[in-house]
Amino acid sequence: MGLPPIYYHYFARPLPYLRALHLQESIHALQLEQRRASASAHKDVLLLLQHTPVYTGGRRQTEAELARERTRLAALGADFVLAQRGGELTYHGPGQLVGYPLLDLARTDPALGIREYICRLQRVLALHLREAHGLVPVETAHTGVFLGAQAKVASIGVQVRHRLTAHGFAVNVTREPQRWFDEVVACGLPDVRATSIEAAAGRETAVEAEVPGVVARFGRVMEREMAPLELGADALGELVGAVDQESRTHS
Amino acid sequence: MSAQRVMHRAPLTLRRTVVTKHFTQDHEAVKFDSDTGVGTVTITDYAQKSLGDIVFVELPEEGATIEKGESVGAVESVKAASDIFAPVSGEVISINTKLGESPSLLNKSPEEDGWLYQLNLSEPGELESLLTEEQYKEFCES
């Protein structure tokens, strides 16, 4: 018997970071609960979205370190949140495609190792940049996707609990995120600047336009079928549907 | 009656300290010394291989009371923070401060020099629901 599909959903309206974080936590709790009852009841899901402007820190940041930055960045009009993911300070906002794969690494036998999982996320993005835009990432020791030694186009930051993943990746599609990145030293790399698909490819595109290609390549690299999540159809669909509905009425 | 009582001291026999090893499905291990009641918690070699190069370790605080199953810290590698869960309940009595400067110790010697923290077990009975070394090996291979 083959593996079940990974269910995906793209939120058409930008979500506040905390709203999406809360959704991730709810899905994580649901997956844990369902998996305890039966080995295959829980579903793997890929959430795709944009955030409203927010700077986020990872586990290595301390509140003290970031206290000063918090005030300055809030004055720019961005939220500021410390998350439980790996990686350091980064920015999310309109013009950037964010992906949260919430997968069970132990779905396959043998289980997918964390290092291999991160590699695959990078591969999905690299493949998409190459095939959809003719952009070739450069090899680097850093995690993430670079289009030049000092030009970062995508970031990765993940959390794993009981082999269930949370958080994920973010790729700059339009030029819009770049000026927000210029306000900070992102990812602990002072010499690196953010670039975008638009800037590197020299032509305009939009986040929505990138979604189908990213979904397809995600399926290819993970070797899984991708299926659209039916909102409201089950517990998972209800959780996602509620957030989707809310974003449409509040925007 | 005051017959002289001769006190014989029992010969000091060499006793082997009993240290048992217990594993979890989250790839952590506890080395338990039944004499002292102290458990030393580590991750397993399987875990460090799966993680890749470890760059940062978040440990519980000394003196903290932790409960079995609670998230007590994390191990970070290549931008993935993997939560570590308490295999048993107790009070943290020491943490491996070497991991602050040399997180790579966790890759090189995950089950010995790269130990995470030690605790006084409050419920040694919890060890019984963990896996034995053999069961853990089977679990990894399955």
CA distance A131 to A127: 6
Q: Per residue in A4-41, pLDDT tens?
A: 999 999 999 999 999 999 999 999 999 999 999 988 89
**B contacts of A155 (beta carbons < 8 Å):** 79
ipTM for the whole predicted complex goes beyond 0.95: no
Our answer to whether residue A187 is catalytic in this structure is yes
Confidence of residue B3 (pLDDT cuts 50, 70, 90): low
- Residue A162 has a pLDDT of 92
Residue A251, pLDDT above cutoff 60: no
Q: Per residue in A201-233, pLDDT tens?
A: 999 999 999 999 999 999 999 999 999 999 999
Q: What is the mean pLDDT of residues B40-50?
A: 94
- Residue A138 has a pLDDT of 95
Overall pTM surpassing 0.95 (yes/no)? no
Q: Per residue in B111-132, pLDDT tens?
A: 999 999 999 999 999 999 999 9
Chain B interface disruption, residue of A65, A142, A160, A169, most B CBs within 10 A = A160
Contact across the interface for B81 and A111, Cβ inside 8 Å? no
Residue A184, pLDDT above cutoff 90: no
Q: What is the mean pLDDT of residues B124-142?
A: 92
Confidence of residue A145 (pLDDT cuts 50, 70, 90): very high
Nearest chain B residue to A113, by CA: B50
Q: How far is A189 from chain B (nearest CA, A)?
A: 14
- Residue B9 has a pLDDT of 58
Contact status, residue B81 vs residue B74, Cβ threshold 8 Å: yes
Residue A87, pLDDT above cutoff 90: no
End-to-end CA distance of chain A: 43
* Higher per-residue confidence, B65 vs B11: B65
- Residue B6 has a pLDDT of 60
- Residue A161 has a pLDDT of 94
